[in-house]
Structure 1
Amino acid sequence: MSELKLKLSVLPTEPGCYLMKNEYSEIIYVGKAKNLRNRVKSYFTGAHDEKTMRLVKEITDFDFIVTSTEVESLLLELNLIKKHQPRYNILLKDDKSYPFIKITKEKHPKLVVTRVVKPSTGIYFGPYPNAYSAHETKKLLDRIYPLRKCNTMPDKLCLYYHIGQCLGPCVYDVEQSQYDDMKNGITRFLNGETDQIMNDLKTKMQDAAEKLEFEKAKEYRDLMGHIENTMMKQKMMTADMSARDVIGYSVSKGWMAVSVLFIRNGNLIEKKAELLPVNDDIEEEFFRFVVQFYDLNSNILPKEVHIPKEFDLDIIQEALESKVIQPMRGQKKEMVDLAKKNAEIAVSNKFDMIERDEARTIKAIEALGDALNIETPVRIEAFDNSNIQGVDPVSVMVSFIDGKPSKKDYRKYKIRTVKTVDDYASMAEVVRRRYTRVLKEGLPLPDLIIADGGLGHMNTVKDVLINELSLDIPVAGLAKNDKHKTAELLFGDEGAVVPLKKNSQSFYLLQRIQDEVHRFAISFHRNTRRKTSVTSALDNIEGIGPKRKQTLLKTFGSIKRMSEKTVEEFTEAGIPKNTAEKIVEALKDRNKK
């Protein structure tokens, strides 16, 4: 609960949706809020009914997605409920949850609000997020466009005819052209072309106010509000059904947060956010994240990927099979801004939580020492490996002092001696190199070493320390579950599971250490892999050194573009003719492979 309280304290006050999770990371409830912090906090304070109390007892974590307006949070809530079907929600089975405005396909058409869609029976507009505003807008349209109101045709004129809201087809003949004009007007209105009507209403409102007819003026004002509410373009639901991911980012204090919004069938259905340390320039870090994200999640590659405008489109497009777009205006640009907003909140929350949690870190390492029956581990060093099918294997070490990361003590290692995919041998090499140097240079030894992995990794580290370096340092292993989350701490000769409560500060500290060493390893591996893959096409060409390589990339933008150029175009860029011929030949051979 202490971890939840910490997350609650840094929740934004923006509108949005929250997703409550149980101990298995299952989403058990989805809700919307005008103010996320106040709404989510309310679950953990005050009295509740029995159903809510059962829900609260199961909550061990939560996530959230920020929206621009409360109306958008309503639509997003519906999408998330349909996708995850949390058992504490009243499940929505079909699109009857959304109201539509319909012009019936009859000889004498009428305008209705319905939740049942049968395309053969009329023209539908929507869905709309707010049923009340939809009904009010229909009332307005009834005043402007006098279609019939009755379900069955009467044999005499009714009140609607006398107040100008019906043409009286029950008595008088109505030309089809009149109905066509009205349907065209309604269609334009419901498609958002409301400027003329809004201007007319504003004029009528002002005229009524000048005549001191305040009730009528208020009615016009309210109708304008209903129109704005109903006709608002909704970011959460779009008419375009393309599968797309929208990516935004934010950078602060040496960290980058990247937020990915998943849009499928016109609906925003999910958000993923990741924090990673910035070890290079911003564009390089962003590019590595995107390439690695889709490399590891190739099964979710959408038709389109939308990114911020400040990055080099061609470089990212070369790496992805999806179409990459940089929206400059309109609804798609607003979605990129929304992804950026979620990233800004994610990176801001990280530092807010660290600041609020500093007082607890000392108690956390003391409790961790007690649980392991060792001295308080003031200095903790953790190791992790990273490679993809043995390519560019690397390892890293992160250092935590007094429960906080000590960035100046972080270390990166390229694996030198291991030629095959061998995680244990890689970790043994790095531990050997690290502590041989520590002993040689008289550097401080850690109070605890953590191996990111199970019993095998832990024993590998212990074997190097004891049998090769004669060091007696406590070693623990951090195992993950099938969802790649910190699951248990292993310690001792048999690798017994240390009984730490999942909501304790000590367990939270271990999660931070494991997340940090994993992110540092992934970031270093991305950097290494990027350097070896992107530049290799130019590295083996005689006459191309670092400066000339930089000039080529700056001039042409990417390897792909270079492969389309002629010898003459390279010479115009200042490359000698014989070198230009070698470049063209080398890139031609590369494209054949």
Structure 2
Amino acid sequence: MTVDTYLIKSVFKFKKTYQRYMETALKETEGKLVNLPDKKFDSAEFLKNLPHLPGVYRYFDKDGNLLYVGKARDLKRRVSSYFQKTLAPRTKLMVDQIASAQITVVNSEAEALILESNLIKTQDPRFNILFRDDKSYPYLKLSSGEYPRLSYYRGALDKRNSYFGPYPNANAAKDTMLLLQKVFQLRTCETSVFNNRSRPCLLYQIGRCSGGCCKKVSPEEYGKSVDLAKEFLRGDSQKVQEDLTRRMNEYSQKLDFERAAVMRDHLAAISNVIHQQSMEAAPDANADIIAAVAAQGEVCVNLAMVRGGRHLGDKASFPSLGRNAELPELEEVLEAFITHHYTQMDVPPVVIINLEERSPRIEELLNTIAGKKVSVIYRPQNIRRKWLELAVTNAKVSLGRKVAEEGSQKKRIGALVQELGLDIPESEYEDFRVECFDISHSSGEATQASCVVFAGNRMDSSQYRRFNIKDVTAGDDYAAMKQVLTRRYQRVANGEATLPNIVLVDGGRGQVKMACEVFDELGLDKNVIVGVAKGEGRKVGLEELVFPDPNKEPLKLGQESPALMLIAQIRDEAHRFAITGMRAKRAKARNYSRIEDLEGVGSKRRQKLLERFGSLKVLSNASVEDIASVDGISQTLARQIYAQLHGQIS
């Protein structure tokens, strides 16, 4: 698996352009709105006032709810198309609900595209096809320095390091990283660990690292391996093979058979990867394959990435289609995906899509985003046909799995609704919402509360929240629960949010009683509160549900109950989320509190020490000379720090 880095250079420029466009367009929005009076929508009057300019249009219903956001090169021409006699059923359903409209005029179609994407993400219009933001795409990162580090990376890119990607999923990136370790023996350890080792680690022993931390390889030799790895990641495996063959022969001629054998093993590993890569094509092939399929009221868009002629894997996305009965056209789905995806990523020179007929709208959209001509292929041949067939197959498999999982989740929701006696029809299961709270600490230290959310038939991690608990007695879980519930549901009491169908608290009668006190103070319906008490012997499947009414017996659902499976899924996720947050907070508190106690070390020096050593433990094991090597710390101060550290831990 390899990846071309031609995307990286333009990412920096595009992000700056995106930010500039958004700031300009949003500042001008208020002064360029066309609002209709609060009466029956008069499309003729509205169209009469529209300019032949690029911009964004928005439709609202009679209650002021946003129905749809769209962009146009020519506002008058595009908006007029919604008020023709012949419309698709889904479009007609929307048009019949329009009560008012607004437009925002911008400077170019590119600005309109970016403004549209931002408004869709932030305002959640009902009739737009929404692709939820997920984690950013992963990259492989090679740091700068004498011995560059290879690492898996997500996040913003900077010019000081080299990035290779993006990869469609984490497994593709990590598989490539593992291969690079085997073949080129690049280090993957943190800099703080690398700088403080006295002997090579296990990865060196098993041939996965060249041991640069202990100078087992020279910077020059290591640099050659880094250069080869970069060539390999750019997709030029032929050049890498030629270079390895040349070096193997040179070592053989010098009778350095041990190094020659290493080069031979590297060649074998790369040849094996190339042989296994069944999707190989031209070395300069860089393309995205986008396949959309629809079935059983759901849509899946599968994105596959090919870089350097090699298939890197794929990623399935499932758009939210709102509550509309009609499925959208695949062209509309693809247009929505392209807008969402490529405002975050650069566009490759070739995009292959599974539409039977040519789509000028999609071609125009891709050209606008890319700022250049993009080759859009609809009926590919040869290897590209195999790429598209594979993408379509994977989309169908992913869609089938999602439909099956959602059916199972709906069955669990139905069972829980029935067990709790809730008056919720099956048609509203999509809006069924559960919020679950858990308290986590380590002997009273670093207390945190977690809130996880089950909504839309799934755990919605975008709505998870952590709460730092302050000013309560260490280990007082009841006080911690009271604080987090008060902070969470004060907004509901103020009318700024809605109450979920169920509020789960991890605990028995005591925690439920505390939750009831909070809800009584806030004036909220406490019947939504349900406690999850551990069963006899704390065995899984023996949990009991505890209710606000003290006269109501706890409910035992049984190990095979679908309702209990859903409760356990939500409760376990809350526990996991709380534990990970508490551990991170505790580690940070321990590292910083001890370093903050050092005399003569201010915030800047403290930051440099942490950047150099990474943690208090590594700093404590450092010598005076190591500490003095940090910029801004003299030999005298280094001795003081060393004495303080060893005085504290002695």
Task: Name the TM-score, length of structure 1 as normaliser.
Answer: 0.40
Larger Rg: 1
Task: Name the TM-score, length of structure 2 as normaliser.
Answer: 0.37
